[in-house]
């Protein structure tokens, strides 16, 4: 900003209180826009508690893969058993995830 532009800006804003609230029309417009955004977010995220989302899939399958690999690594010296343990715990994680989701849906249906 050049010196001339800065002085013009200072002349323009000289008699304004820097700590004053914005004008009521602008504040009202901002408040309405904020309320609209909140309503849009609420409408977009209203899914029933038992619904299966991408986040659920990621946590269930990703967690199953991690648990399965850890179990496989811990049981590694005995090879066929290690594979069975890893797959078994991965499947158990996924089953537990779906069971928890079913319980959440069932609890929401009772309300």
Residues 70 and 38 in one domain: no
Using CA atoms of 32, 33, 35, 40 in order, give the dihedral in degrees to the nearest 10: 140
Using CA atoms of 47, 49, 50, 53 in order, give the dihedral in degrees to the nearest 10: 50
In a domain, 49, yes or no: no
User: How far apart, in whole angstroms, are the C-alpha atoms of residue 68 and residue 38?
Assistant: 40
| Cα 23 to the center of its chain, rounded Å | 35
Residues 62 and 38 in one domain: no
**Residue that has been written with the tokens 């648990």 in this structure:** 67
| CB-based contact 102:48 (threshold 8 Å) | no
Q: Residue 27: which domain range?
A: 3-44
**Residue pLDDT tens, the chain, 111 long:** 899 999 988 888 887 777 877 678 877 888 899 999 988 887 776 677 677 888 899 999 999 999 999 999 999 888 999 999 999 999 999 999 999 999 888 887 776
């Amino acid at each position: 900003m050049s010196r001339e532009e800065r002085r013009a800006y200072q002349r323009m804003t000289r008699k304004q209180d820097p700590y004053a609230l914005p004008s009521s029309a602008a504040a009202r417009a901002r408040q309405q826009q904020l309320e609209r955004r909140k309503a849009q977010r609420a409408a977009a995220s209203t899914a029933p508690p038992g619904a299966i989302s991408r986040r659920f899939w990621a946590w269930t399958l990703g967690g199953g893969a991690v648990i399965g690999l850890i179990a496989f690594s811990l049981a590694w010296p005995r090879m066929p058993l290690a594979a069975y343990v890893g797959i078994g715990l991965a499947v158990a994680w996924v089953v537990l995830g779906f069971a928890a989701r079913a319980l959440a849906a069932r609890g929401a249906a009772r309300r």
